[in-house]
Chains A and B, each alone.
Chain A
Amino acid sequence: MSGRIFVVDDDPAMVEAVAAVLSLDGFEVDGASDGAAALRAVLNDPPALLVLDVSMPGLTGWELCEILRRQPITRDLPILFLTGRGELRDRITAMQVGGTDHLTKPFRAEELRARVRALTASGARRGES
């Protein structure tokens, strides 16, 4: 498995931890701990998947997702939300703003890996068709 994944979380330790899991699966992982830097990096060079935290002090994950969905280059980019609160309202909002999937903290490495595999595989399928 390969491809580049971009991870955004305001806690840099979380970025490192997610990168630790995904790099074991052969992904190349980049990250940022604020929305503005992430936006620049992702628009500059869209990854195969974006893993996005919701509550960040600058641009929130939801806002970042809305912006990306309006850009042709990232319209179909798979986005996996990491939400702190797994409430129904948050999960629905994640979908409303254009998220592809979501994962509630705390999550297990295995679940993260499974979701990322599914999302990158479906992204690849979309790309081929």
Chain B
Amino acid sequence: MPAVATLAASALVLGGLLATSLGTRFLGPFAAPLRPLVSLALALVALAKTGGPSSDLFPLLVVFVAAETAISSEGGRFLLVGTYAGLALLAVLFPAPTAAAARSLALRFLWPAAAAFGVEAVLRWTVPGRNSGGEDAVAPAGTALERAPAGPAAVRDPRSEILHDLKSPLTVLRVYGDLVAEAARRGELPSEAHLAGFAREMTLMESLAGMAPRAPASAPASPPAAIVAPPGPRSDLVRVLSTLVESYRLAHGERVRLEFVAEGVEIPVSADPVALQRAFRNVLDNAVKYTPPGGQVRVRASVVQQHAFVVISDTGAGMTPEEQKHAFTFAWRSPSASASGVPGRGIGLGVTKDLLEKNGGKISLLSEPGHGLEVTIMFPVSREAGA
């Protein structure tokens, strides 16, 4: 096989890769699904030009196509562009008379890169969650937006993850603060509902900051902020969970099987529905994130005597006893979770526990490494259940 053909084929694949990357950048996320197809077509053309399966380049191109289709990470692309550039440089340094030597040298350079891709691709598919690049990487397939916001999320700094998570309660705090200030400017008393919202978000922020809530000191000066576990709020576990599971199924149903079983039409508990939603979302987020493709997440809600139980189990990697010990510690991430590449903040379960306990609930974990995780959440059943 002449070195010229190798070079031409490499240039073709590289050019196609760059063109489709630029296309993705300028045409927006809509071009993303086209990229693997274009790469595949270019690789086939390159193969035909280099002598088909008998060519030295054949295994390399196979690995390339697999890597491009399966991972297409920034680092991988950099490596690929680097090796092709190295190949071109070698061809310049060793012109025609030593073409054969140049080719063998070039292939020696290319093979380590190909092997690195191979290893990365295998890791992506075998290590749970490694394939998911970010919160949106597992959005429903077939949508033009499939990969839209995934890029920066995949390598996001943990601090920015935490800040991102704080934006919602901060915004809510800001909005209620604005409303209270507006009332003051009009010379009116602030609405109790607005103060209640303000105090509730303050409590959540304190949980996120790992502070023990001190209601009297931290709440605004006016009405007592009996917000988090007042006698009033009631939630129906069945309603909250079925809506949540349905929405997770929409997002992740193609990757992970989500099942919800409730023993009863309604399971009323004395808990704030907002806090409940947030707590369950944190647990479900984790379950879905750490369950590999094809796995299952089950949510069961039942009542035993005076207690309501919600058990969320998954078929993910599970936790070691050491990991379980620290699971509720703020900002602690297990070494295996960090190594898995699954984006996470390590604040989820700690905050979940806080939210649940302030609403009369309890949370516990049961797991064996490799056999999934079972999270049990317990509430006393609301006394006015039948009312």
Contact residues of A with B, CB < 8 Å? 9-14, 16-18, 20-21, 24, 33-37, 54-60, 62-63, 66, 84-85, 87, 89-90, 92-93, 96-97, 105-110, 112
Contacts and interface: CB of A to CB of B under 8 A. Distances in A.
B171 to A, nearest CB: 4
Given A55-B135, A58-B250, A20 B175 contact: yes
Contacts of B285: 57
Given A63-B139, A66-B143, A90 B251 contact: no
A14 B179 contact: no
14 contacts: A13-B278, A16-B172, A17-B176, A20-B175, A34-B243, A55-B149, A57-B281, A59-B140, A66-B143, A85-B149, A89-B151, A106-B167, A107-B175, A108-B175
B170 A21 contact: no
B281 A109 contact: no
Given A20-B197, A55-B136, A97-B145, A109 B247 contact: no
Contact of A14 (B149, B168, B200, B281): B168
Given A14-B168, A110-B178, 12 more contacts: A18-B175, A20-B191, A37-B243, A62-B145, A62-B148, A84-B168, A87-B152, A90-B149, A92-B28, A93-B149, A107-B174, A112-B175
Contacts of A13: 168-169, 172, 197, 200-201, 204, 274, 278
B358 interface: no
Contact of B251 (A58, A84, A89): A58
3 tightest A-B CB contacts, nearest first: A58-B247, A109-B178, A34-B247
A34 B245 CA distance: 10
A47 B196 CA distance: 28
Interface in B268-303: 273-274, 277-278, 281, 284-285
Most buried by A among B145, B176, B194: B145
A62 B136 CA distance: 11
Contacts of B176: 17, 20
Contacts of B254: none
Interface in B130-178: 135-136, 139-140, 143-145, 148-149, 151-152, 164, 167-172, 174-176, 178
Contacts of B175: 17-18, 20-21, 107-109, 112
B164 A85 contact: yes
A85 B149 CA distance: 10
B246 to A, nearest CB: 6
B244 A34 contact: yes
B174 A11 contact: no
B304 interface: no
Contacts of A59: 140, 247, 250-251
Nearest to A95: B28
A9 to B, nearest CB: 8
A107 B171 contact: yes
B184 to A, nearest CB: 13
A58 B135 CA distance: 11
Given A12-B273, A59-B250, A84-B167, A93 B179 contact: no
Contacts of B182: 109
B111 interface: no
Interface in B193-207: 193-194, 197, 200-201, 204
B260 interface: no
A36 B247 contact: yes
A60 B139 contact: yes
Interface in B101-153: 135-136, 139-140, 143-145, 148-149, 151-152
Given A57-B284, A60-B145, A63-B145, A34 B246 contact: yes
Nearest to A34: B247
B174 A106 contact: yes
A66 B277 CA distance: 26
